[in-house]
Chain A
């Protein structure tokens, strides 16, 4: 399974594991089952920009490389789900 940082900008995926994530990340919507879109990645700056729940979220690139996502990204308009 790829990691969030391995997606190409514009690609969407579903988060499939959230064990490594801090509580704050989950409160912001980063959790297993969430649909996430990578908007921008800047490994040189050490940052990534993602879209979650219609909002932009900047996150540390190191953190983005720990978030496992599904390889088959959904289309833009698919509804978000946090099903377990």
Chain B
């Protein structure tokens, strides 16, 4: 291995020890990290060059041991056991505070004979927690290099500290305790005929985790109860060894530690205050999303209005100018205008996660989620679903119980994701008066809060429905480590916030701008009696107009006119296209200097003579978007995670039908 130029290194450790933070530090790749145990649910990769070596780093989801209990934990086992040839070594990330627990997984890895370098993270907590570690003794006991480090308050370059060990990585194999703790004897009971030399921990894992291997062809895998007993024996034996050696290098003076977390938990986990604080935080989040973002949004809208106006005067009046102003610029404006709100939303979710508060939400809600077939852990995907359903569905992999996981992932699309926000914002601004109740509760903010609550309520109701009918083991008791509260580093927060916001701007943004250009073309070109009409074609006669009018009867009971129909259908792929489409349609039709909201507000329905966007239509649109599953990526990830077309199409049709019927009911009542 010494001569190998590319080393594949896996970052492994217990949940929440700081793997992703270390990974970011090493690779410079900006990944998502979280204070809620189990944030890394998919593999992340990065490459770095060190001293002529190329290190291919893989950040694996956290796991307590090599015996997985949830789908995310299976990733690590699969990587190590099924494809050991793919890994040259492991950077084992441990946390000074939970070193004892961290040693369980480490001894398992060392028993496999894989080279390991241990990064003992969160060194900044040593003093605060009254912990003392004899590093020399620790290294001697384990037989591997150990680097004491703090990835949030780094002293020195981590890569430089790792560098000396890379050349001799193959020698960093550490102490094997498999025989020392009599686990070999245990295995021998199951394989009396096998040569002693072949009885190793790799066989133990293949046997208990039902991973096929040639030696196992002559025996059956253990039954469920037998496996449980075997794993318990293994855990106990390892902990006995750990307790024995720990005394030699680890001491903690509990009276020295400061327990800010305990004091904060007195309020935040209180059966009354805890919930009040939680609801207050939620309320504050939606009020500020609406009101703080208002000014920058108006500013962006105004700037783009002025820019279009300026270009109109400066550039020659032709097709290209039209495309630039009404296709490209209106599309870009349609993306950027929502950045202030999305910024605030992501900041709130990130802060809840990073400060450790998200775990408290799990604690407070576990019991109340059970009647809906879910657990407290389901609340994290449901809350992060307010940002985007795709990562939220992936994060359900941390839920051990497969039935609870299925219910959670099928209910996540009901929560109000950030793509619905643009639709809500514009429609609320159009139909809900900008008034305040009791002088401080804004009606528009309240409406937004109601729509988010409606999303959650629908998710819970759907969960209860599934809970009644789905087969399987109903619950698994919650067991979860509670991280200390901590204030996240400003830089780290900024990096992650930018990751998410830029994903919206450049990911969703690309699609929106592309759609905007296509729609401009379809709205300014047309064909009549088999003849191509001369540009610019009136919107009524364009491809878009003709199509909209054909489908108008379907959506008429919801109060939608053909322009809204076009916007609804074009947003099938992604909801945020709705406003972009409306904006393009109205820019094509009306090239005055008015902003998009002004254009929509003054639109009159030719049949009724009333504004198109009145209270009834507005609410019908809001309710339609609250329920319809208009997002290709969400459908794709549901298919991937359930492996079932029946669930994927089922949820799509169910939500579509619910959206149509509810919007129609609301319109018919309010009109």
Contact = CB atoms under 8 A, between A and B. Distances in A.
Interface of A: 18, 22-29, 31-32, 39-40, 42, 44-47, 49, 53-60, 62-63, 76-77, 79-84
A23 B73 CA distance: 14
B255 to A, nearest CB: 7
A22 B235 contact: no
B262 A23 contact: no
Interface of B: 64-65, 67, 69, 97-98, 100-101, 104, 129, 228, 231-232, 235-236, 239-240, 243, 247, 252-255, 261-262, 265, 269, 271, 359, 362-364, 366-367, 400, 476-482, 484
Nearest to B236: A31
A5 B363 CA distance: 16
A58 B261 CA distance: 14
Contacts of B265: 39-40, 49
Contacts of A79: 247
A52 to B, nearest CB: 9
A57 B482 contact: yes
B399 to A, nearest CB: 13
12 contacts: A22-B476, A28-B479, A29-B100, A29-B239, A44-B271, A49-B482, A54-B100, A54-B252, A55-B481, A57-B480, A58-B480, A59-B478
B299 to A, nearest CB: 44
B271 A28 contact: no
A31 B235 contact: yes
Contacts of A23: 67, 69, 228, 231-232, 235
Contacts of B239: 26, 29, 31, 82
A14 B265 CA distance: 24
Contact of A58 (B97, B98, B363): B363
A39 to B, nearest CB: 7
Nearest to B239: A82
A1 to B, nearest CB: 20
B97 A55 contact: yes
B447 to A, nearest CB: 31
A84 B240 contact: yes
B67 to A, nearest CB: 7
B288 to A, nearest CB: 28
A26 B232 contact: yes
Given A45-B271, A60-B478, A81-B243, A54 B236 contact: no
Contacts of B271: 42, 44-45
Top 9 closest pairs, chain A to chain B, by CB: A60-B477, A46-B367, A56-B482, A27-B64, A63-B477, A26-B235, A23-B231, A53-B100, A58-B480
Contacts of B98: 53-55
Contact of A28 (B101, B363, B484): B101
